[in-house]
Amino acid sequence: MSTANVEIIAADRLPAGGTILLPGRLDLPQLLALESKLKERNLTFLAEEKLTLDPEVQKHLNRPNVKGMAFSRTDSVESVARALDDALLDGGVVLFVPGIAKARPGTPSLVPTAILKLLCQLDHSITPLAVHVPHECKLSIEPISTLPAAILTFGLPLTKGKASLAGYQESLYEANEAAFSSREFLNGSLSSALLRGLKKHANTCVLHDGSDDSELPFSKILGVAIAFSKEIAKSTSKKRVGILLPPGKGGLIANLAVLFANKVPVNLNFTASQNAVKSSIKQADIDKFITADPFVRKVSSFPWPPNRDLIFIERTLPLLKKHIIKWVLLSKLLPAEALIKLLSLEQSGGDEEAVLLFTSGSSGEPKGVPLSHRNLLSNVCQFSSRIDLPEDSKILGCLPLFHSFGCTVTLWYPIIEGLNLVTYSSPVETKRLAELIHDHRIPLFLATPTFLRGYLKRVDPEQLAPLKLVITGAEKLPESLADSFEEKFGLRPLEGYGLTETSPASNVNLPSLSVNENLEVLASERAGTVGQLLPGIAARITDPGTDTPLPIDQSGILWLRGPNVFPGYLNRDDLTEQVFEEGWFKTNDVARFDEDGFLYIEGRMSRFSKIAGEMVPHEVVEAAVDKALGYDKEDERKVAVVSIPDAAKGEGIGLLSTVNSDMLEQDVIDLRYKLLDAGLPSLWCPKVVIPVSEIPVLASGKLDLKACQALGQEHGS
């Protein structure tokens, strides 16, 4: 069997001394490639007796004169270690052979945790080996013939006596990231990928705009976007073009047209303050903005530029009718590569800026986050391969296009991967969204927990019956909300995690696969977590106070590295230097991984108070208060914890509450005792309750930390 198409990376990491080579998975061609690489070493195969091996691998190991041994996961560490001693003498390599398991595509290790723990407890050197299989983790537009069969990457070895499960996981993540980051498609252009997607899915996919129930096939979207791009190219010499449109056919065509004009789309946050908007426009250096008359009237408070700077899409497209007809015909007749060349779409790509987003400003002024072609192509691939939806699936796009999830997952993802897209202009009109889900039999819905609360009040269960998967992000998913949603609709929402700076998705929970009596089934969801890392992302944890490395199963600051991580803030080298170290991005989230690779987010550093030297997590206090006062069953947020000035301790805990003043006194008189009885430390109990008319939130549904903190700073001692 040929091994020519198996690539091997970082083989020089393999120690010269004896080591256990521990791959996450292994089929026969990969095993043969390793054998060839290790032919100068004394090689012994190791298997666990209850694992089901690939029949071809089993046949290979059954050959005469093959050195091998087996063990049981119930064996003692000492007995297994002794059995391997001789095989590791004089630089011997013991190659563990994983079995077959049921797992989500791109899962880094198919080895059951119990076995990994046992092997890592042996007093021997361990060398992780990442096995990345591009056929399982590819864009729909990538020709299979161009892909390597596998990329084997040696991880950083764990020295004798210092191996641990957490150390193995961290090394395996880094090796997987190196393998994924070596993929050729990451050097390409987002614009070209979108054009190829529109061409490939031209006759099978449509966009249904729920605002007027109009439909556009991908074939027509392509022609309209190219025709519009010519007008955009003539209208400005600037690098970037602003877009002020909600989700829908206008927003989609505008973004495509800007990219096809070889410019950078900037979807501006029309819900932000005027100062934040003006700051974003100035930072982006924009002089033209694509919008629509009805939207200008609807968002009258926005600091609209003069009319000469606005390109009204509903006025412009009718004037381009002849050009649209020409480009629709040409886009049907010409192959994708000819169109790409005609539009010069590959003059940029890879690490160059593809889109510009701005952070929500939840904890300060908006920061420009340029996402490269590499960033967005990788994240579409990472997300789509793990979620693994059927080709004829539909996705609901209602999150704002200035929201990173709304941009990547409901613009680029459905076009490149060929999903039917149903859009609606607002994420808060739950009755209309429920109608669209029901009428279009939509299986996938992405939302924030705040937006989900509206469905509990206003939507009948049968309307959401088509849903198979609900994923939330942008803020913590309260367990009580997940329970209430599951109780009403029979489907539990699952939590994911990401940041604008990571394009955005880095982790996601997904339904675990059905149990198979003959195979190990690896979990892909766990309550209270944000799921496992997506393919090609590495992680590490550091001490919040010193930034020194910690094992990834200990609580500390989460750092991420991968091709989806942005290159740095726009024109802010000072901010970039604060969050980057040797390619690692500091998220400023406090987190830890469990033994199965599920990530627990314990809070943001900005959502901690340092009281008498102790770090107090706001989200933990909020959850305890909600439970103590019976608010955990409510369908909307009633409290938020903030830091308040404290002359004695530096900071104290303040509680914003929407409960009216009369109720407030009665409800909180014994709050401290309830919290203490529930096990909350005395230092963590709120010092003051601050009545507010509403808890400040952003348009994305996230807590407006800046506004909350401003309220908190007005109180204190």
Which tens digit of pLDDT belongs to each residue from 309-359? 999 999 999 999 999 999 999 999 999 999 999 999 988 999 999 999 998
Residue 630 and residue 671 in contact, taking contact as beta carbons nearer than 8 Å = no
Task: Please list the helix, strand and coil fractions of the chain in percent, rounded to the nearest 5, in that order.
Answer: 40, 25, 40
Percentage of the chain modeled with pLDDT above 90:
71
Query: What is the structure's pLDDT at 676?
Result: 81
List the one residue out of 589, 715, 698 whose CA is nearest residue 655. Answer: 715
Query: pLDDT tens digit string along 503-528?
Result: 999 999 999 888 877 788 999 999 99
Task: Select from 498, 502, 474 the least CA-distant residue to 566.
Answer: 502
Tell me which long-range contacts 273-277 makes (C-beta under 8 A, separation of at least 24). Answer: 273/361, 274/301, 274/302, 274/303, 276/358, 276/361, 276/365, 276/366, 277/302, 277/303
Q: What does the alpha-carbon distance between residue 227 and residue 61 come to, in Å, rounded to a whole number?
A: 61
- pLDDT digit string, tens, across residues 630-682: 776 666 778 888 888 876 666 788 888 887 555 555 556 678 778 888 878 77
If you write DSSP's letter for every residue of 425-468 in order, what string do you get?
S-SS-HHHHHHHHHHTT--EEEE-HHHHHHHHHH--GGGGTT-S
**Tell me: the pLDDT tens digits for 420-436?**
999 999 998 999 999 99
* Sign for the pseudo-dihedral over CA of 339, 345, 347, 351: negative
Could you report the per-residue pLDDT of 64-97, keeping only the tens digit for each? 989 999 999 999 999 999 999 999 999 999 999 9
Rounded mean pLDDT of 237-253?
97
- β-pairing, 310-312 with 150-154? unpaired
Contact between 327 and 227 under an 8 Å Cβ cutoff? The reply is yes
Q: Mean pLDDT, to the nearest integer, of 264-282?
A: 90
The secondary structure element, H or E, covering residue 238 is none
Across 594-679, the runs of DSSP E, i.e. the strands, are 599-604, 608-611, 614-617, 639-646, 650-657
Residue 1 has pLDDT above 50, yes or no: no
* pLDDT tier, 361 (very low <50, low <70, confident <90, very high otherwise): low
Smallest CA-to-CA distance from 115 within 48, 26, 61, 21 is with: 48
CB 156 within 8 A of CB 13: yes
**For residue 684, pLDDT beyond 90:** no
Instruction: Provide Rg for the chain, Cα atoms.
Output: 27
**pLDDT at residue 605, as a whole number:** 64
Pairwise CA distance, residues 357 & 69, whole Å: 55
| 8 A C-beta contact, residue 18 and residue 93 | yes
Determine which of 41-45, 302-306, 614-618 has the lowest per-residue pLDDT on average.
614-618
pTM of the model: 0.88
* pLDDT in the model for residue 45: 96
Residue 225: count of CB within 10 angstroms of its CB: 26
Question: Domains in the chain, please, with CATH?
Answer: 6-182 (no CATH), 524-605 (2.30.38.10), 612-713 (3.30.300.30)
pLDDT given at position 695:
87
Question: To which residue do tokens 């596998």 refer?
Answer: 150
In this structure, the number of other CB atoms found within 10 A of the CB of residue 101 comes to 19
Q: What is the pLDDT of residue 178?
A: 98
Please state the rounded mean pLDDT for residues 219-234: 97
Task: Determine the pLDDT at residue 668.
Answer: 61
Return the number of other C-beta atoms located less than 10 Å from residue 236's C-beta: 18
User: In a 10 Å sphere around its CB, with 0-12 CB exposed, 13-18 middle and 19+ buried, how is residue 392 labelled?
Assistant: exposed
CA distance 496 to 504: 10
Query: Phi and psi of 104, rounded to 5°?
Result: -65, 145
Distance between first and last Cα of the chain: 75
Averaged over 475-499, what is the pLDDT?
92
Q: What is the mean pLDDT of the chain?
A: 91
Q: Are strands 150-154 and 6-9 parallel, antiparallel or unpaired?
A: parallel
In degrees and rounded to multiples of 5, residue 267 shows phi and psi of -80, 110
Q: How many percent of the chain have pLDDT more than 70? A: 94
In terms of residues, how long is the chain?
Answer: 717
User: Quick one: pLDDT at residue 648?
Assistant: 66
pLDDT greater at residue 474 or residue 136:
136
Chain position carrying tokens 């087996």: 70
Q: Determine the pLDDT at residue 360.
A: 65
C-alpha separations of 31 from 8, 28, 154, 177 in Å: 12, 5, 14, 21
User: pLDDT for 689-709, tens place per residue?
Assistant: 888 888 888 766 677 877 887
| pLDDT digit string, tens, across residues 185-204 | 999 999 999 999 999 999 99
Contact status, residue 23 vs residue 98, Cβ threshold 8 Å: yes
